[in-house]
Structure 1
Amino acid sequence: MRLGLAANRLHHQAEDAALFSWLRACESGIRELQLGLHTVGRTYDAIHAAGMLKAYPGIRRYPYGREGGLMKLVAEVVGLDDGERHLDGAIYLIDPVDPSSIFPEALALKRQCVIHGKPFLSTVASARDWVEVERLHQGLAPDRNAQRFYDLGQQTLALIAHDALKPQMLAFAERNFDLLSRFARRVGTGTTGQKLNEMAWSKGWPADQPWVDRYQSGPLGGDAQIADLVLERRCQRVIFFEDPHVARQHEADIQLLERAVTTVTHETVCMTTPQVAQRWCDAALLRG
Protein backbone atom coordinates (compact mmCIF):
# COMPACT_ATOMS: atom_id res chain seq x y z
CA MET A 1 0.00 0.00 0.00
CA ARG A 2 1.13 3.53 -0.75
CA LEU A 3 0.03 6.84 0.69
CA GLY A 4 0.97 10.39 -0.14
CA LEU A 5 2.31 12.27 2.88
CA ALA A 6 2.47 16.01 3.50
CA ALA A 7 2.21 18.25 6.55
CA ASN A 8 1.88 21.99 6.85
CA ARG A 9 4.80 23.74 8.52
CA LEU A 10 3.12 23.96 11.95
CA HIS A 11 2.99 20.19 12.12
CA HIS A 12 6.72 19.57 11.74
CA GLN A 13 8.49 22.61 13.17
CA ALA A 14 8.79 21.43 16.78
CA GLU A 15 9.73 18.18 18.50
CA ASP A 16 6.16 17.63 19.71
CA ALA A 17 4.57 18.59 16.38
CA ALA A 18 1.72 16.53 14.95
CA LEU A 19 3.76 14.77 12.26
CA PHE A 20 6.24 13.44 14.80
CA SER A 21 3.47 12.52 17.21
CA TRP A 22 1.90 10.38 14.49
CA LEU A 23 5.21 8.75 13.56
CA ARG A 24 6.08 7.92 17.17
CA ALA A 25 2.68 6.26 17.58
CA CYS A 26 2.65 4.47 14.24
CA GLU A 27 6.23 3.74 13.17
CA SER A 28 5.99 0.07 14.13
CA GLY A 29 2.68 -0.22 12.29
CA ILE A 30 4.12 1.50 9.22
CA ARG A 31 6.93 -1.04 9.17
CA GLU A 32 4.60 -3.99 9.77
CA LEU A 33 2.39 -2.90 6.86
CA GLN A 34 5.43 -2.08 4.68
CA LEU A 35 3.58 1.14 3.92
CA GLY A 36 4.95 3.22 1.07
CA LEU A 37 5.08 6.93 1.91
CA HIS A 38 5.42 9.29 -1.05
CA THR A 39 6.48 12.36 0.89
CA VAL A 40 6.54 15.99 -0.20
CA GLY A 41 9.97 17.61 0.12
CA ARG A 42 9.77 19.74 3.26
CA THR A 43 7.88 17.02 5.14
CA TYR A 44 10.48 14.43 4.09
CA ASP A 45 13.31 16.71 5.17
CA ALA A 46 11.70 17.22 8.58
CA ILE A 47 11.36 13.45 9.12
CA HIS A 48 14.99 12.93 8.12
CA ALA A 49 16.23 15.76 10.36
CA ALA A 50 14.29 14.31 13.31
CA GLY A 51 15.96 10.93 12.79
CA MET A 52 12.67 9.11 12.28
CA LEU A 53 11.95 6.15 9.97
CA LYS A 54 15.69 5.45 9.84
CA ALA A 55 16.73 3.06 7.07
CA TYR A 56 13.08 2.60 6.09
CA PRO A 57 13.00 1.76 2.36
CA GLY A 58 9.34 2.64 1.92
CA ILE A 59 9.68 6.42 2.19
CA ARG A 60 10.31 8.40 -1.00
CA ARG A 61 11.11 12.08 -1.33
CA TYR A 62 9.07 14.22 -3.73
CA PRO A 63 9.76 17.84 -4.74
CA TYR A 64 8.84 20.74 -2.49
CA GLY A 65 5.23 21.85 -2.73
CA ARG A 66 6.24 24.99 -4.61
CA GLU A 67 8.01 22.75 -7.14
CA GLY A 68 4.97 20.56 -7.75
CA GLY A 69 5.30 17.88 -5.09
CA LEU A 70 1.68 18.06 -3.95
CA MET A 71 0.48 18.20 -7.55
CA LYS A 72 2.31 14.94 -8.23
CA LEU A 73 0.49 13.31 -5.34
CA VAL A 74 -2.85 14.37 -6.83
CA ALA A 75 -1.94 12.72 -10.13
CA GLU A 76 -0.89 9.53 -8.36
CA VAL A 77 -4.16 9.34 -6.42
CA VAL A 78 -5.90 9.33 -9.80
CA GLY A 79 -3.29 6.87 -11.12
CA LEU A 80 -0.80 7.13 -13.96
CA ASP A 81 -0.47 4.89 -16.98
CA ASP A 82 2.81 3.22 -16.02
CA GLY A 83 1.07 1.41 -13.15
CA GLU A 84 3.93 2.12 -10.77
CA ARG A 85 2.80 5.59 -9.81
CA HIS A 86 -0.42 5.20 -7.90
CA LEU A 87 -1.49 6.00 -4.37
CA ASP A 88 -4.09 4.30 -2.20
CA GLY A 89 -4.85 7.56 -0.38
CA ALA A 90 -3.17 10.52 1.28
CA ILE A 91 -2.19 11.85 4.67
CA TYR A 92 -2.18 15.64 4.64
CA LEU A 93 -1.85 17.06 8.15
CA ILE A 94 -3.50 20.43 7.76
CA ASP A 95 -2.90 23.61 9.70
CA PRO A 96 -6.29 25.33 9.25
CA VAL A 97 -4.75 28.82 9.25
CA ASP A 98 -1.99 28.02 6.74
CA PRO A 99 -3.08 29.50 3.38
CA SER A 100 -1.36 26.71 1.46
CA SER A 101 -4.05 24.33 2.74
CA ILE A 102 -6.53 25.97 0.35
CA PHE A 103 -4.22 26.11 -2.67
CA PRO A 104 -5.74 24.34 -5.71
CA GLU A 105 -3.47 21.31 -5.38
CA ALA A 106 -4.42 20.87 -1.72
CA LEU A 107 -8.14 21.01 -2.49
CA ALA A 108 -7.66 18.73 -5.50
CA LEU A 109 -5.85 16.15 -3.37
CA LYS A 110 -8.86 15.76 -1.12
CA ARG A 111 -11.34 15.91 -3.99
CA GLN A 112 -9.64 13.14 -5.95
CA CYS A 113 -9.38 10.95 -2.85
CA VAL A 114 -13.13 11.36 -2.33
CA ILE A 115 -13.96 10.74 -5.99
CA HIS A 116 -11.89 7.56 -6.06
CA GLY A 117 -13.09 6.29 -2.67
CA LYS A 118 -9.66 6.55 -1.06
CA PRO A 119 -8.77 7.77 2.44
CA PHE A 120 -7.93 11.44 2.88
CA LEU A 121 -6.46 11.74 6.36
CA SER A 122 -6.17 15.34 7.51
CA THR A 123 -5.73 14.86 11.26
CA VAL A 124 -3.34 12.93 13.49
CA ALA A 125 -6.29 10.99 14.91
CA SER A 126 -7.47 10.00 11.42
CA ALA A 127 -4.00 8.87 10.35
CA ARG A 128 -3.47 7.00 13.62
CA ASP A 129 -6.83 5.28 13.30
CA TRP A 130 -6.20 4.33 9.66
CA VAL A 131 -2.96 2.52 10.50
CA GLU A 132 -4.77 0.47 13.15
CA VAL A 133 -7.60 -0.33 10.70
CA GLU A 134 -5.12 -1.67 8.16
CA ARG A 135 -3.23 -3.62 10.83
CA LEU A 136 -6.44 -5.32 11.87
CA HIS A 137 -7.29 -6.18 8.28
CA GLN A 138 -3.83 -7.77 7.98
CA GLY A 139 -4.64 -10.02 10.94
CA LEU A 140 -2.19 -8.32 13.31
CA ALA A 141 -2.87 -8.15 17.03
CA PRO A 142 -4.70 -5.00 18.18
CA ASP A 143 -2.48 -2.16 19.33
CA ARG A 144 -3.45 -1.48 22.94
CA ASN A 145 -2.30 2.11 22.51
CA ALA A 146 -5.05 2.56 19.92
CA GLN A 147 -7.79 1.44 22.29
CA ARG A 148 -9.23 4.95 22.65
CA PHE A 149 -10.44 4.82 19.07
CA TYR A 150 -12.64 1.84 19.91
CA ASP A 151 -14.15 2.96 23.22
CA LEU A 152 -17.38 3.66 21.36
CA GLY A 153 -19.50 3.75 24.49
CA GLN A 154 -17.65 6.93 25.50
CA GLN A 155 -17.87 8.67 22.12
CA THR A 156 -20.15 10.76 19.93
CA LEU A 157 -20.44 10.00 16.22
CA ALA A 158 -21.58 12.54 13.61
CA LEU A 159 -23.33 11.15 10.52
CA ILE A 160 -23.63 13.66 7.66
CA ALA A 161 -24.33 13.22 3.96
CA HIS A 162 -24.89 15.50 1.02
CA ASP A 163 -28.13 15.07 -0.92
CA ALA A 164 -26.82 12.72 -3.61
CA LEU A 165 -25.24 10.47 -0.98
CA LYS A 166 -28.11 10.26 1.52
CA PRO A 167 -29.19 6.86 0.15
CA GLN A 168 -25.65 5.57 0.63
CA MET A 169 -25.58 6.91 4.19
CA LEU A 170 -28.86 5.15 4.98
CA ALA A 171 -27.60 1.90 3.48
CA PHE A 172 -24.33 2.22 5.38
CA ALA A 173 -26.08 2.91 8.69
CA GLU A 174 -28.52 0.05 8.23
CA ARG A 175 -25.73 -2.38 7.31
CA ASN A 176 -23.71 -1.38 10.37
CA PHE A 177 -26.60 -0.59 12.69
CA ASP A 178 -25.49 -2.74 15.63
CA LEU A 179 -21.96 -1.34 15.61
CA LEU A 180 -23.06 2.29 15.24
CA SER A 181 -25.59 1.80 18.02
CA ARG A 182 -22.67 1.16 20.40
CA PHE A 183 -21.73 4.84 20.33
CA ALA A 184 -22.85 6.79 23.38
CA ARG A 185 -24.48 9.35 21.09
CA ARG A 186 -25.07 9.95 17.40
CA VAL A 187 -25.71 13.36 15.87
CA GLY A 188 -26.67 14.47 12.38
CA THR A 189 -28.01 17.35 10.35
CA GLY A 190 -31.64 17.92 9.34
CA THR A 191 -32.93 15.55 6.68
CA THR A 192 -30.17 12.97 7.09
CA GLY A 193 -30.87 12.76 10.82
CA GLN A 194 -34.60 12.29 10.27
CA LYS A 195 -34.10 9.53 7.70
CA LEU A 196 -31.65 7.76 10.00
CA ASN A 197 -34.14 7.90 12.86
CA GLU A 198 -36.88 6.45 10.68
CA MET A 199 -34.54 3.63 9.66
CA ALA A 200 -33.64 2.94 13.30
CA TRP A 201 -37.28 2.88 14.41
CA SER A 202 -38.05 0.40 11.64
CA LYS A 203 -35.35 -1.86 13.10
CA GLY A 204 -36.88 -1.82 16.58
CA TRP A 205 -35.13 1.15 18.18
CA PRO A 206 -37.50 2.57 20.85
CA ALA A 207 -40.02 4.77 19.06
CA ASP A 208 -39.92 7.43 21.77
CA GLN A 209 -36.13 7.85 21.48
CA PRO A 210 -34.18 9.36 18.60
CA TRP A 211 -31.32 7.21 17.35
CA VAL A 212 -29.71 10.41 16.03
CA ASP A 213 -29.93 13.76 17.77
CA ARG A 214 -30.85 16.13 14.96
CA TYR A 215 -29.31 19.52 14.43
CA GLN A 216 -30.33 22.07 11.80
CA SER A 217 -29.99 21.20 8.13
CA GLY A 218 -26.64 22.02 6.58
CA PRO A 219 -27.78 25.19 4.80
CA LEU A 220 -29.38 26.45 8.03
CA GLY A 221 -26.25 25.95 10.11
CA GLY A 222 -26.20 22.30 11.17
CA ASP A 223 -22.60 21.86 10.04
CA ALA A 224 -21.61 24.82 12.23
CA GLN A 225 -23.45 23.34 15.21
CA ILE A 226 -21.60 20.04 14.86
CA ALA A 227 -18.32 21.92 14.34
CA ASP A 228 -18.88 23.41 17.79
CA LEU A 229 -19.22 19.91 19.28
CA VAL A 230 -15.94 18.95 17.61
CA LEU A 231 -14.14 22.01 18.97
CA GLU A 232 -15.41 21.26 22.48
CA ARG A 233 -14.03 17.69 22.20
CA ARG A 234 -17.57 16.35 22.43
CA CYS A 235 -17.57 14.61 19.03
CA GLN A 236 -14.78 12.11 18.39
CA ARG A 237 -15.66 10.69 14.97
CA VAL A 238 -17.22 12.33 11.90
CA ILE A 239 -18.50 10.28 8.96
CA PHE A 240 -19.24 12.82 6.24
CA PHE A 241 -20.22 11.46 2.84
CA GLU A 242 -19.29 14.32 0.56
CA ASP A 243 -20.45 14.89 -3.00
CA PRO A 244 -17.45 16.41 -4.82
CA HIS A 245 -19.39 17.06 -8.03
CA VAL A 246 -21.91 19.66 -6.85
CA ALA A 247 -21.31 23.25 -5.75
CA ARG A 248 -23.28 24.06 -2.60
CA GLN A 249 -24.56 27.40 -1.36
CA HIS A 250 -23.46 26.55 2.18
CA GLU A 251 -19.92 25.58 1.14
CA ALA A 252 -18.50 27.91 3.81
CA ASP A 253 -20.30 25.92 6.53
CA ILE A 254 -18.90 22.65 5.18
CA GLN A 255 -15.40 24.11 5.18
CA LEU A 256 -15.97 25.38 8.72
CA LEU A 257 -16.70 21.83 9.90
CA GLU A 258 -13.63 20.51 8.12
CA ARG A 259 -11.56 23.29 9.67
CA ALA A 260 -12.87 22.44 13.13
CA VAL A 261 -11.77 18.83 12.67
CA THR A 262 -8.23 19.85 11.72
CA THR A 263 -8.09 22.34 14.60
CA VAL A 264 -8.36 19.46 17.10
CA THR A 265 -6.07 17.22 15.06
CA HIS A 266 -5.27 14.79 17.89
CA GLU A 267 -8.90 14.32 18.93
CA THR A 268 -11.21 13.71 15.97
CA VAL A 269 -11.29 11.11 13.22
CA CYS A 270 -12.95 12.13 9.96
CA MET A 271 -13.96 9.79 7.12
CA THR A 272 -15.35 11.17 3.87
CA THR A 273 -16.31 8.19 1.69
CA PRO A 274 -18.53 5.12 2.11
CA GLN A 275 -15.62 2.84 1.22
CA VAL A 276 -13.35 4.18 3.97
CA ALA A 277 -16.15 4.21 6.55
CA GLN A 278 -17.11 0.61 5.78
CA ARG A 279 -13.52 -0.54 6.05
CA TRP A 280 -13.35 1.03 9.51
CA CYS A 281 -16.58 -0.73 10.56
CA ASP A 282 -15.22 -4.08 9.39
CA ALA A 283 -12.01 -3.48 11.35
CA ALA A 284 -13.94 -2.49 14.48
CA LEU A 285 -15.77 -5.82 14.34
CA LEU A 286 -12.47 -7.67 13.92
CA ARG A 287 -11.16 -5.90 17.03
CA GLY A 288 -14.27 -6.91 18.97
Structure 2
Amino acid sequence: MRLGLAANRLHHANEEAALFRLLRASGQGIRELGLELHAVGRTHDAIAAAGMLAGHPGLKRYPYGREGGLMKLVAEIVGMEGDARTLDGAIYLIDPVDPSSVFPEAIALKRQCVIHGKPFISTVASARDWIENERIHAGLAPDPGADRFHDFESQTLALIAHDAMKPQMLAFAAENYDVLSRFARRVATGTTGQRLNEMAWSRGWPQDTPWVHRFLSGPMGGDAQIADLVLERRCQRAVFFEDPHVARQHEADIQLLERAVTTVTDEAVCITSPAVAARWVAAVRMRQALRAA
Protein backbone atom coordinates (compact mmCIF):
# COMPACT_ATOMS: atom_id res chain seq x y z
CA MET A 1 0.00 0.00 0.00
CA ARG A 2 1.05 3.57 -0.67
CA LEU A 3 0.13 6.58 1.46
CA GLY A 4 0.96 10.22 1.00
CA LEU A 5 2.54 11.75 4.09
CA ALA A 6 2.78 15.36 5.21
CA ALA A 7 2.99 17.09 8.57
CA ASN A 8 2.71 20.77 9.40
CA ARG A 9 5.87 22.28 10.89
CA LEU A 10 4.63 22.02 14.50
CA HIS A 11 4.37 18.25 14.17
CA HIS A 12 8.07 17.68 13.39
CA ALA A 13 9.61 20.64 15.26
CA ASN A 14 11.32 18.53 17.96
CA GLU A 15 11.80 14.93 19.00
CA GLU A 16 8.52 14.87 20.95
CA ALA A 17 6.46 16.23 18.04
CA ALA A 18 3.44 14.33 16.73
CA LEU A 19 5.13 12.87 13.65
CA PHE A 20 7.82 11.23 15.77
CA ARG A 21 5.36 10.00 18.39
CA LEU A 22 3.50 8.29 15.57
CA LEU A 23 6.62 6.70 14.09
CA ARG A 24 7.86 5.48 17.48
CA ALA A 25 4.48 3.86 18.19
CA SER A 26 3.78 2.44 14.73
CA GLY A 27 7.14 2.18 12.97
CA GLN A 28 7.20 -1.59 13.37
CA GLY A 29 3.72 -1.85 11.88
CA ILE A 30 4.79 0.29 8.93
CA ARG A 31 7.68 -2.09 8.28
CA GLU A 32 5.54 -5.21 8.75
CA LEU A 33 3.03 -3.94 6.21
CA GLY A 34 5.74 -2.86 3.76
CA LEU A 35 3.87 0.44 3.71
CA GLU A 36 5.16 3.02 1.24
CA LEU A 37 5.14 6.55 2.61
CA HIS A 38 5.40 9.20 -0.08
CA ALA A 39 6.49 12.12 2.07
CA VAL A 40 6.49 15.79 1.13
CA GLY A 41 9.99 17.30 1.30
CA ARG A 42 10.23 18.87 4.76
CA THR A 43 8.38 15.96 6.36
CA HIS A 44 10.70 13.45 4.69
CA ASP A 45 13.77 15.41 5.70
CA ALA A 46 12.63 15.58 9.34
CA ILE A 47 12.17 11.79 9.42
CA ALA A 48 15.62 11.23 7.91
CA ALA A 49 17.28 13.72 10.26
CA ALA A 50 15.71 11.96 13.26
CA GLY A 51 17.03 8.59 12.04
CA MET A 52 13.55 7.09 11.92
CA LEU A 53 12.48 4.41 9.43
CA ALA A 54 16.18 4.01 8.60
CA GLY A 55 16.64 1.56 5.77
CA HIS A 56 12.91 1.33 5.07
CA PRO A 57 12.70 1.18 1.26
CA GLY A 58 9.13 2.46 1.27
CA LEU A 59 10.03 5.98 2.40
CA LYS A 60 9.91 8.16 -0.73
CA ARG A 61 10.76 11.85 -0.97
CA TYR A 62 8.52 14.34 -2.78
CA PRO A 63 9.24 18.03 -3.44
CA TYR A 64 8.72 20.66 -0.77
CA GLY A 65 5.16 21.85 -0.38
CA ARG A 66 6.04 25.22 -1.89
CA GLU A 67 7.43 23.35 -4.92
CA GLY A 68 4.23 21.37 -5.47
CA GLY A 69 4.78 18.32 -3.28
CA LEU A 70 1.32 18.41 -1.69
CA MET A 71 -0.27 19.10 -5.07
CA LYS A 72 1.38 15.95 -6.42
CA LEU A 73 -0.12 13.93 -3.58
CA VAL A 74 -3.59 15.22 -4.50
CA ALA A 75 -3.14 14.16 -8.13
CA GLU A 76 -1.92 10.72 -7.07
CA ILE A 77 -4.90 10.18 -4.78
CA VAL A 78 -7.00 10.60 -7.93
CA GLY A 79 -4.53 8.43 -9.87
CA MET A 80 -1.83 9.23 -12.40
CA GLU A 81 -0.34 6.97 -15.06
CA GLY A 82 -1.89 3.79 -13.74
CA ASP A 83 -0.95 2.03 -10.52
CA ALA A 84 2.62 3.36 -10.50
CA ARG A 85 1.42 6.78 -9.37
CA THR A 86 -1.74 5.99 -7.44
CA LEU A 87 -1.93 6.46 -3.67
CA ASP A 88 -4.23 4.47 -1.40
CA GLY A 89 -4.77 7.34 1.04
CA ALA A 90 -3.00 10.11 2.90
CA ILE A 91 -1.69 10.94 6.35
CA TYR A 92 -1.64 14.71 6.83
CA LEU A 93 -0.89 15.68 10.43
CA ILE A 94 -2.55 19.06 10.68
CA ASP A 95 -1.72 21.96 12.96
CA PRO A 96 -5.13 23.68 13.10
CA VAL A 97 -3.57 27.14 13.50
CA ASP A 98 -1.07 26.79 10.66
CA PRO A 99 -2.38 28.80 7.66
CA SER A 100 -1.10 26.13 5.27
CA SER A 101 -3.72 23.72 6.63
CA VAL A 102 -6.38 25.64 4.69
CA PHE A 103 -4.38 26.13 1.50
CA PRO A 104 -6.25 24.84 -1.59
CA GLU A 105 -4.00 21.80 -1.95
CA ALA A 106 -4.59 20.79 1.68
CA ILE A 107 -8.37 21.06 1.30
CA ALA A 108 -8.24 19.26 -2.04
CA LEU A 109 -6.24 16.40 -0.52
CA LYS A 110 -8.98 15.65 1.96
CA ARG A 111 -11.76 16.17 -0.58
CA GLN A 112 -10.27 13.76 -3.12
CA CYS A 113 -9.68 11.13 -0.43
CA VAL A 114 -13.35 11.39 0.56
CA ILE A 115 -14.57 11.32 -3.05
CA HIS A 116 -12.50 8.23 -3.85
CA GLY A 117 -13.29 6.41 -0.60
CA LYS A 118 -9.68 6.47 0.60
CA PRO A 119 -8.49 7.17 4.15
CA PHE A 120 -7.67 10.78 5.01
CA ILE A 121 -5.79 10.56 8.29
CA SER A 122 -5.26 13.86 10.08
CA THR A 123 -4.36 12.87 13.67
CA VAL A 124 -1.81 10.67 15.40
CA ALA A 125 -4.63 8.61 16.91
CA SER A 126 -6.24 8.07 13.50
CA ALA A 127 -2.93 6.98 11.99
CA ARG A 128 -2.14 4.54 14.80
CA ASP A 129 -5.66 3.11 14.61
CA TRP A 130 -5.50 2.75 10.82
CA ILE A 131 -2.10 1.03 10.87
CA GLU A 132 -3.32 -1.46 13.49
CA ASN A 133 -6.46 -2.18 11.46
CA GLU A 134 -4.39 -2.80 8.33
CA ARG A 135 -2.13 -5.12 10.33
CA ILE A 136 -5.20 -7.12 11.30
CA HIS A 137 -6.39 -7.25 7.68
CA ALA A 138 -2.91 -8.52 6.77
CA GLY A 139 -3.29 -11.42 9.23
CA LEU A 140 -0.83 -10.11 11.84
CA ALA A 141 -1.33 -10.57 15.57
CA PRO A 142 -2.94 -7.68 17.47
CA ASP A 143 -0.52 -5.09 18.85
CA PRO A 144 -1.19 -4.62 22.60
CA GLY A 145 -0.04 -1.02 22.18
CA ALA A 146 -3.18 -0.38 20.12
CA ASP A 147 -5.61 -1.91 22.61
CA ARG A 148 -6.81 1.48 23.80
CA PHE A 149 -8.25 2.24 20.38
CA HIS A 150 -10.50 -0.82 20.76
CA ASP A 151 -11.65 -0.15 24.31
CA PHE A 152 -15.06 0.97 23.05
CA GLU A 153 -16.81 0.26 26.34
CA SER A 154 -15.11 3.35 27.83
CA GLN A 155 -15.44 5.60 24.78
CA THR A 156 -17.90 7.98 23.15
CA LEU A 157 -18.59 7.71 19.42
CA ALA A 158 -19.91 10.59 17.29
CA LEU A 159 -22.00 9.65 14.22
CA ILE A 160 -22.36 12.60 11.85
CA ALA A 161 -23.66 12.75 8.29
CA HIS A 162 -24.46 15.50 5.87
CA ASP A 163 -27.93 15.45 4.33
CA ALA A 164 -27.09 13.45 1.22
CA MET A 165 -25.15 10.94 3.31
CA LYS A 166 -27.78 10.28 5.98
CA PRO A 167 -29.13 7.15 4.23
CA GLN A 168 -25.61 5.71 4.10
CA MET A 169 -25.05 6.50 7.76
CA LEU A 170 -28.32 4.80 8.68
CA ALA A 171 -27.40 1.74 6.61
CA PHE A 172 -23.90 1.63 8.16
CA ALA A 173 -25.29 1.84 11.69
CA ALA A 174 -27.94 -0.82 11.03
CA GLU A 175 -25.44 -3.22 9.49
CA ASN A 176 -22.95 -2.72 12.31
CA TYR A 177 -25.38 -2.19 15.18
CA ASP A 178 -23.63 -4.76 17.36
CA VAL A 179 -20.19 -3.13 17.11
CA LEU A 180 -21.48 0.42 17.52
CA SER A 181 -23.59 -0.61 20.52
CA ARG A 182 -20.39 -1.55 22.36
CA PHE A 183 -19.51 2.12 22.84
CA ALA A 184 -20.29 3.55 26.25
CA ARG A 185 -22.08 6.45 24.57
CA ARG A 186 -23.05 7.57 21.08
CA VAL A 187 -23.77 11.15 20.05
CA ALA A 188 -25.13 12.74 16.88
CA THR A 189 -26.62 15.97 15.58
CA GLY A 190 -30.39 16.47 15.32
CA THR A 191 -31.93 14.65 12.35
CA THR A 192 -29.21 12.01 12.12
CA GLY A 193 -29.65 11.25 15.81
CA GLN A 194 -33.41 10.86 15.52
CA ARG A 195 -33.13 8.44 12.62
CA LEU A 196 -30.46 6.42 14.39
CA ASN A 197 -32.61 6.17 17.50
CA GLU A 198 -35.57 4.97 15.44
CA MET A 199 -33.36 2.33 13.84
CA ALA A 200 -32.10 1.16 17.24
CA TRP A 201 -35.60 1.01 18.72
CA SER A 202 -36.67 -1.15 15.79
CA ARG A 203 -33.80 -3.50 16.68
CA GLY A 204 -34.96 -3.95 20.26
CA TRP A 205 -33.15 -1.13 22.04
CA PRO A 206 -35.30 0.00 25.01
CA GLN A 207 -37.95 2.43 23.74
CA ASP A 208 -37.53 4.75 26.73
CA THR A 209 -33.76 5.07 26.24
CA PRO A 210 -32.06 6.88 23.33
CA TRP A 211 -29.40 4.85 21.53
CA VAL A 212 -27.67 8.13 20.66
CA HIS A 213 -27.69 11.38 22.58
CA ARG A 214 -28.99 14.05 20.21
CA PHE A 215 -27.40 17.46 20.08
CA LEU A 216 -28.75 20.36 18.02
CA SER A 217 -28.82 20.13 14.24
CA GLY A 218 -25.58 21.03 12.50
CA PRO A 219 -26.74 24.46 11.27
CA MET A 220 -28.02 25.29 14.76
CA GLY A 221 -24.72 24.47 16.45
CA GLY A 222 -24.68 20.70 16.94
CA ASP A 223 -21.25 20.36 15.30
CA ALA A 224 -19.89 22.94 17.76
CA GLN A 225 -21.39 21.06 20.70
CA ILE A 226 -19.70 17.83 19.62
CA ALA A 227 -16.45 19.72 18.97
CA ASP A 228 -16.52 20.77 22.61
CA LEU A 229 -16.83 17.12 23.67
CA VAL A 230 -13.78 16.30 21.55
CA LEU A 231 -11.75 19.14 23.05
CA GLU A 232 -12.67 17.98 26.56
CA ARG A 233 -11.51 14.48 25.58
CA ARG A 234 -15.01 13.14 26.18
CA CYS A 235 -15.44 11.92 22.59
CA GLN A 236 -12.73 9.61 21.26
CA ARG A 237 -13.98 8.67 17.79
CA ALA A 238 -16.01 10.35 15.06
CA VAL A 239 -17.49 8.66 12.00
CA PHE A 240 -18.18 11.62 9.74
CA PHE A 241 -19.85 10.92 6.38
CA GLU A 242 -19.14 14.10 4.48
CA ASP A 243 -20.69 15.07 1.15
CA PRO A 244 -17.80 16.69 -0.73
CA HIS A 245 -19.97 17.87 -3.64
CA VAL A 246 -22.27 20.31 -1.87
CA ALA A 247 -21.44 23.72 -0.40
CA ARG A 248 -23.01 24.14 3.04
CA GLN A 249 -24.10 27.34 4.75
CA HIS A 250 -22.72 26.10 8.09
CA GLU A 251 -19.32 25.12 6.65
CA ALA A 252 -17.55 27.01 9.46
CA ASP A 253 -19.22 24.77 12.07
CA ILE A 254 -18.14 21.66 10.19
CA GLN A 255 -14.57 22.93 10.03
CA LEU A 256 -14.74 23.70 13.75
CA LEU A 257 -15.41 20.04 14.50
CA GLU A 258 -12.60 18.92 12.19
CA ARG A 259 -10.18 21.38 13.80
CA ALA A 260 -11.16 20.15 17.26
CA VAL A 261 -10.19 16.62 16.25
CA THR A 262 -6.77 17.76 15.02
CA THR A 263 -6.23 19.84 18.17
CA VAL A 264 -6.30 16.70 20.34
CA THR A 265 -4.29 14.73 17.79
CA ASP A 266 -3.24 11.88 20.12
CA GLU A 267 -6.75 11.33 21.46
CA ALA A 268 -9.34 11.51 18.65
CA VAL A 269 -9.87 9.17 15.70
CA CYS A 270 -11.83 10.46 12.71
CA ILE A 271 -13.20 8.32 9.86
CA THR A 272 -14.40 10.25 6.84
CA SER A 273 -16.16 7.97 4.36
CA PRO A 274 -18.40 4.88 4.23
CA ALA A 275 -15.71 2.76 2.56
CA VAL A 276 -13.14 3.54 5.24
CA ALA A 277 -15.72 3.02 8.00
CA ALA A 278 -16.67 -0.40 6.63
CA ARG A 279 -13.02 -1.48 6.56
CA TRP A 280 -12.59 -0.27 10.15
CA VAL A 281 -15.54 -2.35 11.38
CA ALA A 282 -14.27 -5.41 9.52
CA ALA A 283 -10.93 -5.07 11.32
CA VAL A 284 -12.71 -4.62 14.66
CA ARG A 285 -14.56 -7.91 14.16
CA MET A 286 -11.39 -9.73 13.08
CA ARG A 287 -9.36 -8.37 16.00
CA GLN A 288 -12.07 -9.31 18.48
CA ALA A 289 -12.13 -12.85 17.11
CA LEU A 290 -8.34 -13.11 17.41
CA ARG A 291 -8.47 -11.90 21.00
CA ALA A 292 -11.17 -14.46 21.82
CA ALA A 293 -9.33 -17.36 20.18
Q: How does 1:13-162 map to 2 (within 5 A)?
A: 13-162=13-162
- Identity, % of aligned positions: 77
Cα shift at 1:106: 0.2
Q: Which runs of 4+ in 1 moved over 2 A?
A: none
* Letter of the 1:25 counterpart: A
Unaligned runs of 5+ in 2: 289-293
Match for 1:197: what amino acid? Answer: N
The amino acid across from 1:239 in the alignment is V
CA distance in 2: counterparts of 1:142 and 1:107, whole angstroms: 33
**Structure 1 residue identity aligned to 2:275:** Q
Give the aligned partner of residue 215 of structure 1.
215
Taking the aligned partners of 1:123 and 1:190, their CA distance within structure 2 comes to 26
Which secondary structure does the structure 1 equivalent of 2:84 belong to? coil
Q: Distance in 1 between matches of 2:269 and 2:277?
A: 11
C-alpha deviation, 1:227, in angstroms = 0.1
Equivalent residue pairs, number: 288
Structure 1 residue 81: Cα displacement: 2.4
Deviation by residue 1:244-275 (Cα, 9 ceiling, x = unmatched): 00000000000000000000000000001001
Separation in structure 1 between the aligned mates of residue 22 and residue 31 of structure 2, nearest angstrom: 14
Letter in 2 for 1:8: N
1:240 maps to 240
TM normalised by structure 1 equals: 1.00
2:179 is aligned with 1:179: yes
Distance 1:153 1:61 in 2: 40
Quote the Cα distance in structure 1 between the aligned partners of 2:10 and 2:83.
Answer: 34
The runs of 5 or more residues in structure 1 that have no matched partner are none
Instruction: For 2:41 and 2:8, locate their aligned partners in 1 and report how far apart those are by CA, in whole Å.
Output: 11
Distance 2:259 2:285 in 1: 30
Distance 2:25 2:225 in 1: 31
- The residue that corresponds to 1:274 in the other structure is 274
1:83 deviates by: 2.7
Alignment match, 1:9? 9
1:287 deviation in Å?
1.1
The yes-or-no answer on 1:204 pairing with 2:204 is yes
In structure 2, distance between residues paired with 1:145 and 1:181 = 24
Q: Secondary structure at the match of 1:262?
A: helix
2:231 maps to 231
Which residue identity lines up with residue 198 of structure 1 in the other structure? E
**Letter of the aligned partner of 2:231 in structure 1?**
L
- 2:140 maps to a residue whose letter is L
Q: CA deviation at 1:166?
A: 0.3
For residues 121 and 48 of structure 2, the distance between their equivalents in structure 1, rounded to whole angstroms, comes to 22
- Residue 160 of structure 2: SS of its match in structure 1? strand
SS in 1 for 2:56: coil
The amino acid across from 1:247 in the alignment is: A
Aligned-pair distance for 1:82? 3.7
Distance 1:15 1:240 in 2: 32
Distance 2:119 2:133 in 1: 12
How large is the RMSD of aligned CA atoms in angstroms?
Answer: 0.4
In structure 2, the residue corresponding to 1:187 is in which secondary structure? strand
1:144: how far off?
0.2
| SS of equivalent residue, structure 1 residue 83 | helix
Letter in 2 for 1:196: L
CA deviation profile, 1:91-127 (whole Å, cap 9, x unmatched): 0000000000000000000000000000000000000
Tell me, in whole angstroms, the C-alpha distance in 2 between the residues paired with 1:178 and 1:249: 34
Q: Which residue identity is paired with 2:183? A: F
